[in-house]
Structure formats: structure tokens, C-alpha cells
Amino acid sequence: MFPGAIEVVPATYLDQLGTIFARFAPKDSGNISYGLQTATDRYFVKTAGDATDAYVNFPDRVALLRNAIELAESVPHPVLPALHAVIESPSGPLLVYEWRDGELFGDSTSRERFHALPTAEILAAVNALYDLHAALDAAGWVECDFYNSSMLYDFPAHRLTVFDLDLYHRGPTRNTMGRMFGSSSYMAPEQHVLGAPIDTRTTAYVMARAGQLLLPDPPQPVADVLIEATTTRFPSYQAFYAAWLTASSTIDASRPNRST
């Protein structure tokens, strides 16, 4: 259905292919993405955006999209939207993902609605997030930019989706920025320190913070793991994940959420 390359600008091509029903242009990235309805399905199409937008220079935006392609191809996972096609254009690659319904956690109303869900459903979403990062960690990927707006939740389908992991790094790296991209609510201490190592320990810390923010009233066994991960720290993501699995297997997830 999708060609390997096109000679027109992305929006012009998408207009020919179907109906653009949504346009996303976050000011902090320079990327422009589209919701596309074709005769048979819906897709999310991500592009490098306008070459004149200088927030992140255009060649770097293209490089990050190619990094996203590598990540999607190396770690297929139910939590990640499937990458259906990559279309080359004069404006860089178009990444054609499956469309996922859901409410963005960047919206406080959506987060509050999620926090009011039964404990079992919240734990299932956190488990899915952690399973994804276990697969990413096993493939060598290190977290470098994860925050509320990396997640959306489909309440009717009880399904978490994670996306926009373009800045994840294949292998350990160093902090070359000082304060790195991301939300301070999630970031590990080393993501504020120029020259600090960014590695599997970083992923463990950030995911533990995600767990603390997603679980408004964590059962004690998992609360203890999350606290350890954000204080004394685990030596690796896999060590954190093993401790989480052990702790979560001991709790009664059928209990009501006390925050409701």
C-alpha cells in the first residue's frame, strides 16, 4: 500500500492517500505528525516537520526518526504501535505506525481517571510498561526521554500504549547536555549532571518513578521496590524488574484502590 519513496512533501502525499483527520505539531520537537484515515484503516504518520523550524535542527530530527525506526524494528512489543512502513521523501522519512486510540497522560484529567481505576488494572498497565522496558533493555536500549506524554491509555480496551521513544539510546552513553530532555518528575539524578553515565541504572530509576506516579497508592511490597529503585538504586534494569516481579506476585491486586 505504501511506496518506498515519494517526491512530494509529506502532507501532499497523505492528502492523496486518504483523509488527514488530525495534525500534531509539538513545539518542543519540531516534528509534525498526522492522523490518516485511508479506505481501510487509520494510521499515525510521523515526519521530521519543517526544515526551517530551529528548535532541534532538521538533520538531528531526521536522525532521531531513523533511531526510532531502529528501535521499532529491534523490539516489537504489544505496548508499542507497530511500524507498518517507512517512506523516504525530500523532507526526510515518514514513519507510518498503526493508529492507537487512547487518552494522553499529559492531560491531568486522564491521569486522575487512570488513578481511579482498580488496583489490578493499574498494575496490569505498569506491568506492561515494565515488560516493554525489559525487552528494550535486553536489546541494549537506554531511556533518555520518558514522561507523561509518552503514554496514552485506552480505557474501554484497558490498554496502555507507549510511543515517542525517539531519543532512547542504543547502549550506554554520557550526559552531554547537563539537564537532559524530559520531565523532572521522571528524571534520574544523572540526567541533570553533565558528563554523568546514562545506562541501564537510569532506565531502572525512571521506570520506578513512572510506577510511583502511575500508582497513587502502591501496595507495600511494590512500594518498597520503587523506593529502593529511587534511593539506594538497583545495579541494572533487569535487577529492578526481577525485584518488581517478585514483589508484585505477592500482593492482592483485587483490593480496592484507597484513593477512590
The neighbouring-strand residues paired with 38 are none
User: Which CATH number describes the domain made up of 10-98?
Assistant: 3.30.200.20
pLDDT of res. 257: 55
Distances (CA, A) of 13 to 4, 34, 52, 81, 94: 13, 12, 20, 22, 10
| C-alpha of 106 from chain center | 12
**Of the given ranges (7-11, 30-34, 92-96), which has the lowest mean pLDDT?**
7-11
Task: State in words which class domain 103-248 has.
Answer: mainly alpha
pLDDT (mean) for 175-192? 95
When pLDDT is averaged across residues 168-173 and rounded to a whole number, the result is 97
How high is the pLDDT of residue 260?
A: 39
Considering the entire predicted model, what is its pTM?
Answer: 0.93
The residues spanned by each domain of the chain are 10-98, 103-248
Inter-residue long-range contacts of 50-54, CB under 8 Å, 24+ positions, other chains counted:
51/91, 54/30
CB atoms within 10 A of CB 255: 12
User: Each residue of 41-66: pLDDT tens digit?
Assistant: 999 999 998 877 766 788 999 999 99
SS3 8: coil
User: How large is the C-alpha radius of gyration of the chain?
Assistant: 19
User: Containing H/E element for 28?
Assistant: none
Q: How many residues are there in the chain?
A: 260
Tell me which amino acid residue 42 is.
R
- From the list 256, 238, 6, the residue with the least C-alpha distance to 133 is 238
How does pLDDT run across 126-156, given as a tens digit for each residue?
A: 999 999 999 999 999 999 999 999 999 999 9
Q: Which amino acid is at 72?
A: A
Please provide the distance, in angstroms rounded to a whole number, between the alpha carbons at the two ends of the chain. Answer: 47
